[in-house]
A and B are shown apart, each in its own frame.
Chain A
Amino acid sequence: MPRPGFLLEVESSSPPTLFWHGEGFRLERLPVGSRVLYPPEPLKALENPRGAIREALRSPVGDAKPLEDLLFADMKLTIAFDDVSLPLPAMKAPDIRQMVIEEVLEIAARKGVDDVVLIAALALHRRMTDEELRHCLGSRVFDSFSPHGLLTQHDAEDPDNLVHLGLTSQGEDVEINRRAAESDLLVYVNINLVAMDGGHKSVATGLASYKSIKHHHNPQTMVNSKSFMDQHHSELHSSNWRMGRLIAKSGVKVFQIETTLNTNTFPENFGFLQKREWEWELKDRLGFIGASKLLGHTPRRVARSVFHSILSPHAMTSVSAGEVEAVHEITTANVLKQQNIDVEGQSDILTMGLPYICPYNVNSIMNPILVACLGLGYFFNMYRGRPLVRQGGVVIISHPTKWEFHPVHHPSYIDFFEEVLADTTDPVSISERYEERYATDPWYRHLYRTSYAYHGVHPFYMWYWCAHALDHLSQVIILGGERRSVERLGFSCASTLDDALEIARHYVGSSPSLTHLHSPPVLMANVT
């Protein structure tokens, strides 16, 4: 029986706490009385995932017929799937998407469906490489579809392959992939890593254009999503739901398949990353020491390569299929079942160690903008109720935050960092003064469409993810960060935790309370 999440109160005898630090780790002694939030242990995986998938397809939830009944010869079937940003890290083969899509295709073949197209739901993310697609879909699917041009990637800048379905009650444009919209059935294959994923967001964002996405990816929406991981208090969620309902009303028939994962995130040789420090056994200690020493003497480029080659032993804990909202309700409950931890009260300071990876740097570099996004966008928002840190509090993030960018994946990020953040860090001002130029820049558009670049507007969205935290906090301190890049972000830099706490006291008083988010693996704090 896996143990639930745990809230440790640090005592003088407590061992040091492990902080992720990019492609490395730090062991820090937190002040006595600090709280450390440990994620729940991994739930038991489904014993027969393929069987569970088949059953889900046979017994859909909500107002939906079994998949088999929705398929017929001569129909146009489109299968869209989450892109490389999920799950994190990439999972060991077979990937969930492979298993689900193989089952869907088998039924389609039985029913004589010939016109089948697969679409990677990129939204404004970079295109996936063939290697990544093959890993995600498996060789059988990849080799059957890719050579014939039937394995496609959504292009949010292809006017010929977008269709405008109308405006929501709030005047939001809904413009999505034409092939998906004009198919007799759109099957969406999702992986839910965090509570924000899935639901109507899958199609309304994953297959949408900039014109559509900009309605909910903006500072106002983000500030009003408290948090965007909590669908009942998320304007991001509400906007996507309005769009999703309009999509359904427009006659687009979506058959949603959602899956959840357990928190078994790292392979056995990195087992210490998933254990509570006082429970480390000899092999965990040796693993930590070995990894730390090795990484300390390894060029960052090599260390990065090593980390990105890690394949997660994530396992599927649930699969549901059918009508979008009904499916997502079950999915969200399963996500919370795995990730939830109840916490009483906020603290003055929230500390977190950021790993080498976030959804937008798979096989890539975690640049400073992504550091901010992962810390203040994702980790800060991993709450329901109230943030873990009080209004006017301080967040301390441990990460090297090097002035490094992947020039192929993140070209507009480089310019955003050089030009925009040098001018202002205010999300609203940034949005008003710079977004349109970057979003419509022909070079970025070209790279997004033909190379492997994130859309020109993407760094803006990453910064907007931080809007709620920036609005809520009085200061952000990067522990062990590169000074010039931290300053460019508008944050403070500290070389030791003691220094960071000293800086923080300036904002939150001399005896601050502190909570440490011991993640990943992912957890979701229910703060009362």
Chain B
Amino acid sequence: MRALVFERNLPRYGLARVFSSVSGSGKAVSKSPLSFQNVSPPSVDKPGWETVDVLACGICGSDLATVDAVASRYFEDIVSFPFIPGHEIVARRRNGSGDRVVIESVLSCIPRGIDPPCKYCATGDNGNCTNLFLGSIEPGLQIGYCRSSGGGFSESLCVHGSQLYSIPDDIGDLEAVIIEPTACSIHAVLTGHISRDSTVGVLGAGTLGLCVTAALRSLIDPKTVLVSAKYDFQAGLARKLGADVVCEPGSLVRTVRRLGSGFALGSVKSTDRFQNSPKSGVPKSLSEGCDVVIDCLGTSDSISTAMSITRPKGTIIMVGMPARVSVDLCPLWHREISLIGSYAYGQEDLSKVLAPGFEPPGSTYQVFTQVSRRPQPKMVRTFDLAIDLVRKSALGALVSASYPLERYIEAFEHAGESARRRGVKIALVPTRAKKQEETN
């Protein structure tokens, strides 16, 4: 089968890093260890595993970080080379049902055949699995980073039945690509730190920022959702999905101050004449601020900004994948801010869903309970919520463009400058599926 394969190749990795830092994100694909190859289809001959045909797969920020060679080295021990990237997968089962499915890509104890599972998997929190390098398959935190399973940037891959969620008929193949990032967003929103009275800041209005915005409005409905969006079209989408206030990143600190009426601290006492350099006068931090800030970018700047706009004893939720960053943590210490991570998805506590009138997605819940280990009362799988949210908020429209697999270089370039080109999510589609898509 044809697939994009990422190999351990340090010279090319180094070249990609240099190239991407000069040319920009997504521009170093041809120099990176990623290549289009004919490979043997993956095969996992273990109980519960099956092969599915890829219909579409989104290019995630983490995929871009991988080909840009800026991903964290933290992952080195929980990936297995060579791997086929791609974890925002929409596929069709070969088991005769022909069901279209999205894949919960975390390779936790259950797919790995580890029994008894670790204490996190035992309670449904697969994302926190501690056994990502053990069991019957190669190490890999997710499909898309594991040699055994294959990945979404291919024609087919192996998945465990517990990872599959049926796609309702009213969600198209490409639209379904947004379900996985929506699940990540929901998981971040339902950490339990956000109340109906909260003012929540969302940093970034790309895929994650927009999905987080929709999730906030739909599942919590907090007092104020403030989104920083770099581009006008992003601002429009954020408003449409439920943001109360949208501002440019450069005016974020001021905007948050206006919402909270606190003080801004910074170079405001100077008597220098003509302070008109771009950054002068941008307050450094606020005395008050947002109750919760959800950082969808994960950069040094975004984390610093998050700290400067979070109130004392507030919370920063990091949902965008960071890498090595350089940040002054003094505000975190001084203002007793909690910095928490939010990775992937798993199981959500319905009591944390605060939006009035929210109805849990009953039917998909039932489908899932057949494969879940131990569903608990008032708990729901994140993917079930995500499918429901994608339908309700029409998040499928965030998938802006798709490319045939063999045109992956263009696709990655597009993904790297997606926002500049008024796009959000870019997807890759195997040629077979692409033809089908065009026929439809």
Q: Is B351 an interface residue (CB 8 A)?
A: no
Evaluate whether A418 and B268 lie within 8 angstroms (CB atoms) in the complex, with A405-B281, A406-B275, A411-B281 already known: no
Residues of B within 8 A of A300 (CB): 276
- Looking at the assembled complex, report how far the CB atom of A488 sits from the nearest CB atom of chain B, in whole angstroms: 12
Q: Do A304 and B254 touch (CB < 8 A)?
A: no
Q: Do A363 and B273 touch (CB < 8 A)?
A: yes
In the bound assembly, the distance between CA atoms of A496 and B257 in angstroms comes to 39
Across the interface, name the chain B residue whose C-beta is closest to A131.
B271
Q: Do A443 and B274 touch (CB < 8 A)?
A: no
Interface set, chain A 396-444, CB cutoff 8 A to B: 404-408, 411, 414-415, 418-419, 437, 441-443
Evaluate whether A419 and B258 lie within 8 angstroms (CB atoms) in the complex, with A443-B264, A446-B263 already known: yes
Residues of B within 8 A of A249 (CB): none
- Looking at the assembled complex, report how far the CB atom of B250 sits from the nearest CB atom of chain A, in whole angstroms: 10
Q: Do B269 and A408 touch (CB < 8 A)?
A: yes
Q: Do B261 and A407 touch (CB < 8 A)?
A: no
Chain B interfacial residues counted at CB < 8 A: 23
Residues of B within 8 A of A365 (CB): 274, 276
Q: Do B268 and A447 touch (CB < 8 A)?
A: yes
In the bound assembly, the distance between CA atoms of A449 and B262 in angstroms comes to 16
Among A406, A411, A419, A452, which residue has its beta carbon within 8 angstroms of that of B276? A406
Q: Is B323 an interface residue (CB 8 A)?
A: no
Among A304, A414, A452, which residue has its beta carbon within 8 angstroms of that of B274? A304
- Looking at the assembled complex, report how far the CB atom of A421 sits from the nearest CB atom of chain B, in whole angstroms: 13
Q: Do B274 and A364 touch (CB < 8 A)?
A: yes
Q: Do A308 and B269 touch (CB < 8 A)?
A: no
Q: Is A305 an interface residue (CB 8 A)?
A: yes
Q: Do A452 and B263 touch (CB < 8 A)?
A: no
In the bound assembly, the distance between CA atoms of A414 and B248 in angstroms comes to 13
Residues of A within 8 A of B258 (CB): 415, 419
In the bound assembly, the distance between CA atoms of A308 and B270 in angstroms comes to 18
Residues of B within 8 A of A405 (CB): 276, 281
Evaluate whether A407 and B275 lie within 8 angstroms (CB atoms) in the complex, with A443-B257, A447-B268 already known: yes
Residues of B within 8 A of A407 (CB): 267-268, 275, 280-282
In the bound assembly, the distance between CA atoms of A363 and B270 in angstroms comes to 13
A353-376 toward B: CB 8 Å interface, digit per residue (1/0)?
Answer: 000000000011100000000000
Q: Do B276 and A451 touch (CB < 8 A)?
A: no
Q: Is B409 an interface residue (CB 8 A)?
A: no
Q: Is B272 an interface residue (CB 8 A)?
A: yes
Q: Do A418 and B255 touch (CB < 8 A)?
A: yes
Across the interface, name the chain A residue whose C-beta is closest to B254.
A415
- Looking at the assembled complex, report how far the CB atom of A399 sits from the nearest CB atom of chain B, in whole angstroms: 16
In the bound assembly, the distance between CA atoms of A365 and B272 in angstroms comes to 12
Residues of B within 8 A of A404 (CB): 276
Residues of B within 8 A of A453 (CB): 268
Q: Do B255 and A419 touch (CB < 8 A)?
A: yes
Across the interface, name the chain A residue whose C-beta is closest to B281.
A407
Residues of B within 8 A of A441 (CB): 261
Residues of B within 8 A of A414 (CB): 254, 281
- Looking at the assembled complex, report how far the CB atom of A404 sits from the nearest CB atom of chain B, in whole angstroms: 5
- Looking at the assembled complex, report how far the CB atom of A480 sits from the nearest CB atom of chain B, in whole angstroms: 19
Q: Do A451 and B263 touch (CB < 8 A)?
A: no
Q: Is A298 an interface residue (CB 8 A)?
A: no
Among A364, A408, A418, which residue has its beta carbon within 8 angstroms of that of B247? A418
Q: Is B251 an interface residue (CB 8 A)?
A: yes
Q: Is A301 an interface residue (CB 8 A)?
A: yes
Evaluate whether A406 and B247 lie within 8 angstroms (CB atoms) in the complex, with A411-B268, A411-B281, A415-B258 already known: no
In the bound assembly, the distance between CA atoms of A317 and B92 in angstroms comes to 91
Evaluate whether A301 and B274 lie within 8 angstroms (CB atoms) in the complex, with A407-B280, A408-B281 already known: yes
Q: Is A450 an interface residue (CB 8 A)?
A: yes
Across the interface, name the chain A residue whose C-beta is closest to B260.
A443
Residues of B within 8 A of A161 (CB): none
Evaluate whether A301 and B255 lie within 8 angstroms (CB atoms) in the complex, with A407-B267, A411-B268, A418-B247 already known: no
Q: Do B261 and A443 touch (CB < 8 A)?
A: yes
Q: Do A451 and B281 touch (CB < 8 A)?
A: no
Q: Do A443 and B263 touch (CB < 8 A)?
A: yes
Q: Is A129 an interface residue (CB 8 A)?
A: yes
A interface, how many residues as a size bin?
A: 20 to 34
Evaluate whether A129 and B271 lie within 8 angstroms (CB atoms) in the complex, with A411-B281, A418-B247 already known: yes
Q: Do B274 and A406 touch (CB < 8 A)?
A: yes
Q: Do B263 and A442 touch (CB < 8 A)?
A: yes
In the bound assembly, the distance between CA atoms of A452 and B268 in angstroms comes to 8
In the bound assembly, the distance between CA atoms of A437 and B263 in angstroms comes to 14
In the bound assembly, the distance between CA atoms of A407 and B267 in angstroms comes to 9
Residues of A within 8 A of B272 (CB): 408
In the bound assembly, the distance between CA atoms of A418 and B255 in angstroms comes to 9
Across the interface, name the chain B residue whose C-beta is closest to A417.
B251
Residues of A within 8 A of B254 (CB): 414-415, 418
Evaluate whether A451 and B274 lie within 8 angstroms (CB atoms) in the complex, with A411-B281, A443-B263 already known: no
- Looking at the assembled complex, report how far the CB atom of B273 sits from the nearest CB atom of chain A, in whole angstroms: 5
- Looking at the assembled complex, report how far the CB atom of B206 sits from the nearest CB atom of chain A, in whole angstroms: 23
Chain B CB within 10 A, most for which of A404, A418, A447: A418
Interface set, chain B 231-278, CB cutoff 8 A to A: 247, 251, 254-255, 257-258, 261-264, 267-276
Residues of A within 8 A of B281 (CB): 405-408, 411, 414
Q: Do A451 and B268 touch (CB < 8 A)?
A: yes
Residues of B within 8 A of A308 (CB): 273-274
Chain B CB within 10 A, most for which of A406, A443, A453: A443
Residues of A within 8 A of B271 (CB): 129, 408, 452
- Looking at the assembled complex, report how far the CB atom of B243 sits from the nearest CB atom of chain A, in whole angstroms: 15
Residues of B within 8 A of A415 (CB): 254, 258
- Looking at the assembled complex, report how far the CB atom of A362 sits from the nearest CB atom of chain B, in whole angstroms: 10
Residues of A within 8 A of B270 (CB): 408
Evaluate whether A408 and B276 lie within 8 angstroms (CB atoms) in the complex, with A418-B254, A419-B258 already known: no
Residues of A within 8 A of B276 (CB): 300-301, 365, 404-406
Q: Do B273 and A450 touch (CB < 8 A)?
A: no
B208-233 toward A: CB 8 Å interface, digit per residue (1/0)?
Answer: 00000000000000000000000000
Chain A CB within 10 A, most for which of B254, B268, B270, B282: B268
In the bound assembly, the distance between CA atoms of A419 and B271 in angstroms comes to 26
- Looking at the assembled complex, report how far the CB atom of B43 sits from the nearest CB atom of chain A, in whole angstroms: 58
Across the interface, name the chain A residue whose C-beta is closest to B275.
A407
In the bound assembly, the distance between CA atoms of A451 and B272 in angstroms comes to 12
- Looking at the assembled complex, report how far the CB atom of B218 sits from the nearest CB atom of chain A, in whole angstroms: 26
Interface set, chain A 328-384, CB cutoff 8 A to B: 363-365
Interface set, chain A 78-106, CB cutoff 8 A to B: none
Interface set, chain B 154-199, CB cutoff 8 A to A: none
Evaluate whether A305 and B274 lie within 8 angstroms (CB atoms) in the complex, with A419-B255, A443-B257, A446-B263 already known: yes
- Looking at the assembled complex, report how far the CB atom of B268 sits from the nearest CB atom of chain A, in whole angstroms: 6
In the bound assembly, the distance between CA atoms of A447 and B262 in angstroms comes to 12
Beyond the given A408-B268, A419-B258, please list 5 additional residue pairs across the A-B interface where CB-CB is below 8 A: A305-B273, A406-B276, A407-B281, A443-B263, A447-B268
Which A-B residue pairs are the 6 nearest by beta carbons?
Answer: A407-B281, A443-B263, A451-B269, A404-B276, A418-B251, A129-B271
A residues bordering B, Cβ < 8 Å?
129, 300-301, 304-305, 308, 363-365, 404-408, 411, 414-415, 418-419, 437, 441-443, 446-447, 450-453
Selected A-B contacts with CB under 8 Å, 27 pairs: A301-B276, A308-B273, A364-B273, A365-B274, A405-B281, A406-B276, A406-B281, A407-B268, A407-B280, A407-B282, A408-B269, A408-B281, A411-B268, A411-B281, A415-B254, A418-B247, A419-B255, A442-B262, A443-B257, A443-B262, A443-B263, A443-B264, A446-B263, A447-B268, A451-B268, A451-B269, A452-B271
B residues bordering A, Cβ < 8 Å?
247, 251, 254-255, 257-258, 261-264, 267-276, 280-282
